[in-house]
Amino acid sequence: MAGNRLPDTIQVMPASAYPLGVSADGKDLVVSACFRGTKDCGICLFSGEKQTLVLFDASCRTGRIFSARLTGAGGCFDSYLLYEDGSYFCDPYAKKIIGLERFGEAVGEADLRCRSLLPHYDWRGDLRPQIPYEDCVFYCLNVRAFTMADPSVKPAARRGTFSALKDKIPYLKELGVTTVELMPVYEIHTAIPKSLMHLPAPLIDNGTLVEAAEPEKKVNLWGYQEGYYFAARASYACDGNSPCVECKDMIRAFHENGMEVIMQFWFAEGTSKSLMTDCIRYWVSEYHIDGIHLKSDNIPVDMIATDPMLSDIKIMAADVSAFPSGEENLPLYLADYSDGFVWSARHFLKGDDRSIGAFADAMYGRRNGHAEIHYIANYDGFTLRDLVTYEHKRNDANGEGGTDGRYDNISWNCGVEGESRKRAVSLLRRQQILNALTFVFMSRGTPLLYAGDECGNTQEGNNNPYCQDNACGWTNWKGLSGKGKYLAVRDYVRFLAALRKRFRSIGNNGKQERKAPLSKNRLPELSFHGSEAWRPDFGDNSHAFAALYVHREEDACLYVIYNMYWEALRFSLPDVPRHFVWHQLSDTAKEQPVNSAGQTLFGEKETRVAARSVQIFEAVAGKEPLPSGRGKRTGKGAASNE
């Protein structure tokens, strides 16, 4: 690129070093950028085919930052690149990158351009819903993968975009979701260069090493790589020229429906802490996001968690235990987002010995009073359907010789590896899915559902489909079409979300109280039970227990019985005040787990809980007490105690 002289009417003057980036100030252009060295630094401005190179002198330098005011240049140029010592490169603070509009297309750095002058956006009085963690239901998704195979999004060209995600708001809202968590949406090179590809392991043939073949072209579907952190991804927009507008339209639409949008951020090693914090502040102020999930270990959580500007957004990281709770000067929105619940829940779901104590602690324990995000499946591992279908990963399609992804998934295939047409196997797998969902939604953490788990989405055993921009990596919606066999699973999620909303004490994410609070009926808000009421068994060989939730303000109780034993067990129902009556709400062992015809009056004092199943009961105040004695049942569909 040959540099052209600026018109004589434009002057270069020193400017303030902060904020970093390029912006317009009236008719002037203000530039501030950090360079590796302290000489031969500048900016190349483009206006169509015309380009002008501007070099900064020592008067514009503060440390390694060069900042200048280009008088009269605002509006004269449509894009730019930074320049240093003969090289041109993108500004890490650029608000838009030109050249990456097509997903998966390999584009060289020299073909990119930066833009920082975004169009004005009218938020129309937009306000963040600021939903407390205990009232939230999270839903984690990838913007592209979520709708690429969704036939309800039309025309097909809109699939995989911010606009298509906006179309799914009614579905998500009806499901009970309050908060969507988006995998990275900042701009990246979606085509993975060979220099960053993981080469497959060498093959061994009769003891001789065989040279591994070079992998074919790969794309980064997930987005966890170094990128242009201030720019919304152009390939996620129907119109690649205005991704920022389409992204803001989507966020505003979620807010109009009383829902939140959380963004994930992953930063490459070597990224400066100041850039990380500047980036997060920018997305909060410019895009009105409701929270952040900090994904990499190098992020300065302490700086972010104590930033006054971020004091009322959700901040999630793998470990926030360093921040004691209850201090007035600390944020109220910190949450621990780790795998602690995952492994405990999966061991108990399998029926492993010595798992019940850890599971109960993960379900109901407290860690420093912070909120906790609870899930049993997420993007980095098996989907919920695959968790009960495979015991071994099937990642060969990733081109890494099967070496990528977790080896031990703590999964159980219900007796057959892979898909099966055996009715008994299919029913048990669906039952296990329902059990797992109950674990998540009845826990005291904030429940998180991974996209498609409610409709039987499968990755065909691939537990690391980061590069699968195809049917494997996309959410599969077939389980909800026609008489899809996962309709009952979706309806069960709706039931659990509604139940959790009504019984807010389930999600008590607050500070641990020394003594369990009592309801106005003098019952503890939470208590544990075994096959006999008030006698839990958390021994090494136990695989079943029950939890009683008492609504502190209303005359209502929930009784949830978990039997992960491989045989049916009988559980007595705890005595409650005489004006209460028990109703059975759900049973995961039934073909229709939720009693859609209405609550079933339950006249027994005990219930038979099928192997590997969960039952939920509710005791509500009735006009008259139930008649005494066992075996007296009323109401159509009353549960059997055979």
Contacts of 335 (CB under 8 A, 6+ apart): 133, 314, 315, 316, 320, 370, 371, 372, 373, 446
> Long-range contact list for 53-58, CB < 8 A, 24+ apart?
53/1, 53/2, 53/3, 53/4, 53/83, 54/3, 54/6, 54/12, 55/3, 55/83, 56/12, 57/12
- Give just the sign of the alpha carbon dihedral 5, 88, 273, 61: negative
Structure tokens at 49: 């085919």
Q: Are residues 352 and 302 in the same domain?
A: no
Residue 59 placed within a domain: yes
Looking only at the bridges linking them, the beta strands covering 21-25 and 96-98 are: unpaired
Which one of 441, 470, 503 terminates a domain? 503
**Any idea what DSSP says for residue 215?**
P
- Give just the sign of the alpha carbon dihedral 459, 610, 569, 577: positive
CATH at residue 43: 2.60.40.10
Kindly provide the residue ranges of all beta strands, DSSP E only, lying in 414-479, ordered along the sequence: 446-450
For 447, the domain range is: 347-503
CB 98 within 8 A of CB 240: no
Instruction: Report the distance separating Cα 316 and Cα 295, nearest Å.
Output: 9
Q: Are residues 374 and 520 in the same domain?
A: no
Kindly provide the residue ranges of all beta strands, DSSP E only, lying in 384-440, ordered along the sequence: none
Q: Are residues 51 and 142 in the same domain?
A: no
3-class secondary-structure state, position 437: helix
Please give the pLDDT value at position 368: 67
Instruction: Report the distance separating Cα 95 and Cα 97, nearest Å.
Output: 7
pLDDT, tens digit, for every residue of 101-153? 999 999 998 899 999 888 899 999 999 999 999 999 999 999 999 999 999 99
Residue 124 placed within a domain: no
Instruction: Report the distance separating Cα 323 and Cα 274, nearest Å.
Output: 21
Q: Are residues 178 and 229 in the same domain?
A: yes
Which one of 37, 64, 89 terminates a domain? 89
Q: Are residues 27 and 145 in the same domain?
A: no
Which one of 462, 485, 503 terminates a domain? 503
Residue 356 placed within a domain: yes
CATH at residue 362: 3.20.20.80
Q: Are residues 485 and 462 in the same domain?
A: yes
What residues form DSSP beta bridges with 614? 562
Q: Are residues 420 and 459 in the same domain?
A: yes
Please give the pLDDT value at position 74: 82
Kindly provide the residue ranges of all beta strands, DSSP E only, lying in 26-86, ordered along the sequence: 28-34, 41-47, 50-55, 61-62, 65-70, 79-84
**Any idea what DSSP says for residue 486?**
T
Please give the pLDDT value at position 625: 40
Q: Are residues 265 and 376 in the same domain?
A: no
Structure tokens at 106: 């390999």
Q: Are residues 311 and 357 in the same domain?
A: no
Task: For residue 243, say if its preceding peptide bond is cis, omega within 30 degrees of 0.
Answer: no
Instruction: Report the distance separating Cα 366 and Cα 383, nearest Å.
Output: 27
Please give the pLDDT value at position 321: 77
Q: Are residues 319 and 355 in the same domain?
A: no
Q: How many domains does the chain have?
A: 4
Residue 546 placed within a domain: yes
**Angle made by CA atoms 350, 484, 161, in degrees to the nearest 5:** 95
What residues form DSSP beta bridges with 80? 45, 114
Instruction: Report the distance separating Cα 50 and Cα 6, nearest Å.
Output: 11
Q: Are residues 424 and 303 in the same domain?
A: no
Q: Are residues 495 and 408 in the same domain?
A: yes
195 phi, psi to nearest 5 deg:
-65, -20
CATH at residue 550: 2.60.40.1180
If we measure between CA atoms, which residue out of 235, 220, 219 comes closest to residue 97?
A: 235
Please give the pLDDT value at position 194: 66
Please give the pLDDT value at position 3: 45
Mean pLDDT, 10 residues at a time, over the chain (642 residues)?
Answer: 52 94 92 93 91 93 96 88 96 97 93 91 96 96 98 96 98 98 97 66 44 67 96 95 96 98 96 96 98 94 90 92 59 84 97 96 79 96 98 94 93 97 96 98 96 97 97 96 91 97 77 42 83 95 95 80 98 85 93 77 87 94 46 35 34
CB 186 within 8 A of CB 232: yes
Please give the pLDDT value at position 467: 96
Instruction: Report the distance separating Cα 58 and Cα 39, nearest Å.
Output: 8
498 phi, psi to nearest 5 deg:
-65, -40
Task: Tell me the CA end-to-end span of the chain in Å, nearest whole number.
Answer: 84
If we measure between CA atoms, which residue out of 345, 352, 353, 351 comes closest to residue 372?
A: 345
pLDDT, tens digit, for every residue of 38-50? 889 999 999 888 8
Contacts of 96 (CB under 8 A, 6+ apart): 114, 115, 116, 118, 231, 232, 234, 243, 244
